[in-house]
């Protein structure tokens, strides 16, 4: 039985034929995602989380502009724009999204034969993922239209610390006292992380078009591990391209799970780091500035630290941002990401050597 309300929503989009099935796709911490099947094709329908994305119209404009640019590049190179770039499906009225009282919906084409991975368990997968993210950035290097800042200060550490200080002083869920040790992890690294962001503020690290959520499961691969395209373009914005590298390393190299309860399973796999970096630099190496090269490895620590901060802050605030499966989920995530950060800190000299050797 299809949910009638969902069916009504789906029917407002310009899908080709009658809808025969709608199924939930249980992934992601933010939006709700469904697969819609019509007689001939499949589509993705998403309820966008309006608490997190206050301006869905601006977000969808970003996505439309960026995918149009990417499609032109793919066509120029003789590729298939429906498989190698996400295709937004408008509503029957020609809008990029649908507003249904409090909810916002958007749709895209489902790319048949595509697979996603949660674990980078082969060198080839890590290499290909790196190449995919590198190519995404390279294809957008000459994109000159303005992009809206869909989430304020998304990877901006100065802003994150403003939010952090407020969360601690308000202590809304009364949890601060129970996480003293975890708070010290953040305090100890505050100056170092802000120093990195200062380089972005001073223009020493250039702003580029970035995906901003490059975890492994946000790339579609084909059966031969070739990258088809980047998905989940909600956070496409201008930032330092290093963040896309760092966030991918956070996700690809983790030998445990993002929310592992057994910290002995969590560490950074340095071989996976090497393979990903090799793939990434094969596409981006020549277009990077000297300072981007110098700080590439550090961006992994930066983004992993940011993730510790964000999970811990959400725990302190009473779990208002991320979907959680149980009451201490955000705390468990923060601890597991901190273990990963420590492993990166231990291996940082080696990471730098690897980057150097590949340039
Ligand atoms: C969120 O929703 P999802 O799973 O694509 C988050 C990312 C985090 C990630 C952690 C808009 O991504 O920033 O890195 O969870 N997205 C947003 O897994 O906050
Ligand atoms: Mg996302």
Ordered domains of the chain (ranges, CATH): 4-109 (3.30.200.20), 123-358 (3.90.1200.10)
Residue 1, pLDDT score: 63
Q: Burial letters for 279-293: b for 16+ Cβ neighbours within 10 Å, e otherwise?
A: bbbebbeeebeeebb
- Cβ of 208: how many Cβ atoms within 10 Å? 21
Using a 10 angstrom Cβ sphere, with 0-12 exposed, 13-18 middle and 19 or more buried, the burial of residue 91 is middle
Is residue 28 lining ligand 1, measured as CB closer than 6 Å?
A: yes
Q: How far is the CA of 203 from the centre of ligand 2 (A)?
A: 27
Predicted TM-score (pTM) of this structure: 0.95
Say yes or no: CB of residue 154 within 6 Å of ligand 1: no
**What's the 28 CA to ligand 2 centre distance in angstroms?**
7
32 pLDDT more than 90: yes
The pLDDT score that the predictor gives to residue 126 is: 98
Question: Are 137 and 66 spatial neighbours (Cβ–Cβ below 8 Å)?
Answer: no
Average pLDDT over residues 69-89: 97
Tell me the pLDDT of the chain averaged across its residues. Answer: 96
H-helix or E-strand containing 108? strand 103-109
* Token code pair at residue 212: 């901003």
Residues written for the chain: 359
**What per-residue confidence (pLDDT) applies to 41?**
96
Q: Which residue's alpha carbon is at the smallest distance from atom 5 of ligand 1? A: 28
Q: Is the CB of 235 under 6 A from ligand 1?
A: yes
Instruction: Tell me if 232 CB under 6 Å of ligand 1.
Output: yes
Q: Whose CA is nearest to atom 8 of ligand 1?
A: 213
DSSP 227: E
Mean pLDDT of 137-157: 95
Q: Nearest ligand, CA of residue 313?
A: 1
- CA 40 / ligand 1 centre spacing (Å): 32
- Give the mean pLDDT of 222-231: 94
Q: What is the pLDDT of residue 277?
A: 98
Residues 231-257: tens digit of each pLDDT: 999 999 999 999 999 999 999 999 999
Q: Which residues surround ligand 2, an ion (CB under 5 A)?
A: 213, 232
Q: Among the bound ligands, name the one nearest to the CA of residue 53.
A: 1
Q: Atom 19, ligand 1: which residue's CA is nearest?
A: 30
pLDDT band at 30 (very low <50, low <70, confident <90, very high): confident
């Amino acid at each position: 039985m299809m949910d009638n309300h969902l069916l009504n929503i789906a029917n407002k989009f310009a899908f080709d034929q009658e809808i025969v099935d709608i199924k939930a796709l249980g992934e992601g911490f933010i939006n709700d995602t469904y697969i819609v099947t019509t007689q001939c094709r499949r589509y993705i329908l998403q309820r966008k989380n309006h608490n997190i994305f206050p301006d869905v119209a601006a977000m969808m404009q970003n996505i439309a502009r960026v995918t149009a640019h990417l499609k032109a590049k793919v066509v120029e190179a003789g590729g298939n724009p429906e498989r190698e770039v996400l295709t937004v499906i408008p509503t029957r009225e020609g809008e990029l999204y649908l507003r249904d009282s409090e909810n916002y919906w958007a749709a895209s084409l489902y790319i048949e034969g595509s697979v996603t991975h949660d674990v980078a368990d082969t060198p080839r997968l890590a290499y290909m993922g790196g190449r995919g993210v590198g190519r995404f950035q390279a294809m957008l290097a000459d994109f000159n239209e303005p992009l809206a800042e869909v989430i304020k200060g998304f990877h901006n550490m100065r802003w994150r610390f403003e939010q952090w200080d407020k969360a601690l002083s308000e202590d809304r869920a009364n949890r601060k006292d129970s996480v003293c040790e975890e708070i010290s992890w953040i305090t100890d690294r505050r100056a170092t992380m802000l120093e990195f962001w200062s380089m972005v503020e001073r223009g020493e690290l250039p702003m580029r078009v970035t995906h901003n959520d490059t975890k492994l499961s946000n790339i579609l691969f084909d059966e031969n591990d070739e990258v088809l395209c980047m998905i989940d373009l909600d956070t496409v914005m201008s930032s330092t391209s290093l963040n896309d590298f760092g966030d991918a390393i956070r996700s690809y190299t983790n030998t445990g799970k993002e929310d592992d309860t057994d910290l002995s399973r969590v560490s950074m796999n340095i071989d996976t780091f090497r393979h990903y970096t090799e793939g990434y630099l094969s596409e981006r190496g020549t277009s990077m500035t000297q300072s981007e090269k110098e700080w590439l490895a550090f961006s992994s620590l930066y983004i992993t630290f940011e993730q510790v901060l964000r999970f811990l802050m959400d725990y302190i605030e009473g779990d208002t941002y991320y979907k959680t499966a149980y009451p201490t989920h955000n705390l468990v995530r923060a601890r597991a990401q901190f273990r990963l950060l420590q492993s990166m800190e231990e291996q940082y000299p080696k990471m730098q050597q690897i980057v150097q050797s590949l340039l």
